[in-house]
Amino acid sequence: MKMTGAEILIRCLQEEKVEYMFGYPGGAVLHIYDELFKQDQVKHILVRHEQAAVHAADGYARCSDKVGVALVTSGPGATNAVTGIATAYMDSIPIVVISGQVPTPAIGMDAFQEVDMVGITRPCVKHNFLVKDVRDLADTMKKAFHIAKTGRPGPVVVDVPKDVTAQVCDFEYPQTVQMRSYNPVVKGHLGQIKKAVQLLAEAKRPIIYVGGGAILSDASDKLRKLAHHLGYPVTNTLMGLGAFSGIDKQNLGMLGMHGTVEANMAMHFADVVLAVGARFDDRVIGNPANFAEEPRKIIHIDIDPSSISKRVKVDVPIVGNVPDVLDEMLKLVEGSKPDPAQTADWWARIDEWRGKNSLGYKQDSELIMPQYVVQKLYEVTKGDAIICSDVGQHQMWAAQYYPFDKPRRWLNSGGLGTMGVGLPYAMGAQFAHPDATVACVTGEGSIQMCIQELSTAKQFRLPIKIISLNNRYLGMVRQWQEMFYGSRYSGSYMDSLPDFVKLAEAYGHVGMRIERPEDVEPALKKAFIDHKDDLVFMDFQTNREANVFPMVAAGKGLTDMILAEDL
């Protein structure tokens, strides 16, 4: 059957079972929008800025096992999408972004709203395509979805010139993908797996270090089985929170720049590290030279060979899909439990570190401590909400004080650190899970980077709860300036803030301002229970000077932590 390119594009999305597409129309994608209008299988969610379209698609993918989809027009639509694409790239999130392009004869002519999208996005996509012939469109779409979700996932851009969406050809959606240049390894090398199991069995000071890869590959169940079987301590990275339960007694909490004392010390002094879908990045192990001071054996499971031995030398590399590799390990360890006596001393040391209570803080009677808000949020939502955060101090507090029991409940921009993701992530999460409680933990700085999406949330009646920890500073910047720049608060002061209550109301939502510690819990209850079906913007006026602790300063080793009591 003959179809136009626009029709084919929509049919491809239907074939891929795309339920929601986040987008913003414009000249180059009008044919596509016209076809969207004629069907109701793919629901279009109109955002208020293209950046949010990509973030929402990204958020949707993060908390489901589906590929997120965004549609933007050429030129500024495409460039606005770039931050979203780079954000997804850094965290390996499977999304497909369809961008309009000027008609093929106009490409290179500096046409109206023309930009070299394939060129601009090349360094921040897993792959991208420019479709120059309508006969390639269906095949390209199939490849785009395949590439986005297989191997180490990532964003794929499909740039479609306007004339291609008008051209006509036969449509047949390919059932399979054959690419000689792209065949990700799935199964781990059995010899290496055996070596790993041997090392783990002999370990006296083991640690299991879990990253976002364990969540992206849905390895949580197998990971828990293995960790419980071994009885070894576990630490999650910022991206790995929820892969191993945050409320399990084997959990040492998050590690890294703002990790707990027990997690960081255990990571540093372990004799065997089992890294699961994690990449030893600078925010996690600090200075690699310091990290290398202690002798240890590292086992690293990752689907991406280039993640292995990139920052630290690995002894047992295992390239493969994490759950498949863990499955093999489970088979091998079955029937032989390590003797708990072997790690008794290690656990005793860990308990000593735990005794430092490095996440302790004091909630006085006058000023709301931001950590307290997150703890109360945990209590009121019974730990069962999808928490989307922006970037900054509030992000770290949410990560530290809201233990995640399940995977895909914690959405944040870990790699790129993109302020403004919180609200669009919450939108994506609410579309993926309409009945779930979705909260956006943010600050007055971050929220204003995508605040226009309050309008989208109104249009689609998304009952998101915005928990804004408002300290009238760009808090993380201020914290660094206080600690490393002689308290010269250059550019970190937020003056002329809007009245967020009125702002929320102007968009048709519920706004609340909370100024006293004793009001925190009742306000949260009111928002989450009485206003269950409303978007509530909660403006918490918090202690302005609160800092995130522990802290490993940039360039320092993991053991070099600044604790709250040090200041």
Which of these is catalytic: 50, 114, 328, 453? 50
From the CB of 387, what's the least distance to another protein, in Å?
Answer: 31
Judge contact between 98 and 71, C-beta under 8 A.
Answer: yes
Listed ranges 104-112, 221-229, 302-310, 543-551: which one lies at the site for another protein (CB under 8 A) = 302-310
Residues 388-427 interacting with another protein (rule: CB under 8 A): none
Taking the complex as a whole, the smallest distance from the CB of residue 181 to another protein amounts, in Å, to 4
487 binds another protein (CB under 8 A): no
* The one among 107, 118, 169, 332 contacting another protein by CB under 8 A: 118
- Torsion, Cα of 261, 270, 200, 317 (10° steps): 100
**Encoding tokens for residue 70?**
């965004």
- List Cβ neighbours of 291 (8 Å cut-off, separation of 6 or more): 268, 280, 285, 312, 557, 558
Under the binding rule (CB under 8 A), the answer on residue 304 touching another protein is yes
Q: Which amino acid is at 185?
A: V
Binding segment for another protein (CB under 8 A), chosen from 118-126, 161-169, 439-447, 488-496, is 118-126
Residue among 179 and 348 whose Cβ is closer to another protein: 179
Does 178 help bind another protein (rule: CB under 8 A)? no
305 is a contact residue toward another protein (CB under 8 A): yes
The minimum distance between CB 128 and another protein, in angstroms, equals 8
Which residue of 2, 180, 362, 382 would you call a contact of another protein, by CB under 8 A? 180
Residue 537 bears catalytic tag: no
Catalytic residue list contains 112 = yes
With 0-12 / 13-18 / 19 or more C-beta atoms within 10 angstroms meaning exposed / middle / buried, residue 334 is exposed
CA atoms within 13 A on the CB side of 201: 14
174 binds another protein (CB under 8 A): no
The dihedrals phi and psi of 398, each to the nearest 5 degrees, come to: -60, -40
Binding residue (CB under 8 A) for another protein from 2, 38, 178, 179: 179
Catalytic residue among 15, 19, 43, 113: 113
Residue 319 tokens, joined: 């390239």
How many helices (H) does the chain have, and how many strands (E)?
22, 22
Of 182-201, which residues contact another protein (CB under 8 A)?
182
Stretch of 124-132, 363-371, 407-415, 474-482 contacting another protein, by CB under 8 A: 124-132
Catalytic site residue 265?
Answer: no
| Listed residue (222, 252, 218) closest to 237, CA to CA | 252
162 is catalytic: yes
Confirm if 92 and 130 have CB atoms less than 8 A apart.
Answer: no
Determine the 3-state secondary structure of 69 from DSSP.
Answer: strand
Burial class from Cβ neighbours inside 10 Å (0-12, 13-18, 19+) for residue 339 reads exposed
Quote the least distance from Cβ 364 to another protein, whole Å: 49
Burial of 382 (0-12, 13-18, 19+ CB in 10 A): exposed
114 a catalytic residue: no
Instruction: Please select the residue that binds another protein; options are 113, 309, 363, 459, rule is CB under 8 A.
Output: 309
Of 305-313, 383-391, 444-452, 539-547, the segment contacting another protein by CB under 8 A is: 305-313
* Helix extents (H) in 203-247: 212-216, 220-230
Contact call for residue 122 and another protein (CB under 8 A): yes
Stretch that binds another protein, among 82-90, 207-215, 262-270, 299-307 (CB under 8 A): 299-307
Dist CA 215 CA 142 (whole Å)? 24
How far apart, in whole angstroms, are the C-alpha atoms of residue 205 and residue 203?
6
Candidates 88, 96, 147, 464; binder of another protein (CB under 8 A) is 147
Q: How many CB atoms lie within 10 A of CB 475?
A: 30
Which of 126, 142, 143, 162 is the catalytic position?
Answer: 162
Nearer to another protein among residue 155 and residue 233 (C-beta): 155
Examine residue 119 and tell whether it contacts another protein (CB under 8 A).
yes
Query: What minimum distance in Å lies between the beta carbon of 185 and another protein?
Result: 11
Site for another protein, residues 150 to 169, rule: CB under 8 A: none
When asked if residue 130 is in the footprint of another protein (CB under 8 A), the reply is yes
Q: Which long-range contacts (CB under 8 A, 24 or more apart) does 220-226 make?
A: 220/244, 220/406, 220/407, 222/322, 222/323, 222/326, 222/327, 222/330, 223/276, 223/322, 223/326, 224/248, 225/326, 225/330, 226/326, 226/329, 226/330, 226/333
Q: Supply the minimum distance, in Å, between the C-beta of residue 482 and another protein.
A: 33
User: Token pair 């372990």 is at which residue?
Assistant: 270
Amino acid (1-letter code) at residue 431: F
User: Which of 97, 396 has the CB closer to another protein?
Assistant: 97
Shortest reach from residue 208's CB to another protein, in Å: 24
Site for another protein in 429-458 (CB under 8 A): none
- Indicate whether 136 belongs to the interface with another protein (CB under 8 A): no
CA distance 55 to 390: 11
Binding site for another protein (CB under 8 A): 118-119, 122-123, 126-127, 130, 147, 179-182, 304-306, 309-310
Catalytically annotated residues: 50, 112-113, 162, 476
